[in-house]
Amino acid sequence: MLAPEVFDQRDEDGVVVLLDPEPGEALRATVREAADMCPSGAISVSAISDSATSAGTASTGAPSTGAPSASEGK
């Protein structure tokens, strides 16, 4: 898993869950890489506009609409 501080997998079905919706600056590159690698495009990352030092907000799509699952290589 690319960013275990930010993402985990649900035990029952391996669907990726978001642990930290606002990861800090130190994780910026890793979280961006996770979004880039996400095979279903369910991760989006956006900068928090009024803070130049924040890595931004990560979010995953609702599990029912194709959030990445166990196998999908975070």
- Chain positions contacting another protein, by CB under 8 A: 1-2, 9, 11-15, 36-37, 39-41, 66, 69-74
Identity of the residue, 13 or 50, whose beta carbon is nearer to another protein in the bound complex: 13
Closest distance to another protein from the beta carbon of 49 (Å): 26
Closest distance to another protein from the beta carbon of 3 (Å): 12
Q: Which two tokens stand for residue 43?
A: 């991760």
Q: Which two tokens stand for residue 49?
A: 């506009």
69 touches 38 (CB < 8 A): no
Alpha-helix runs per DSSP H in 17-57? 28-37
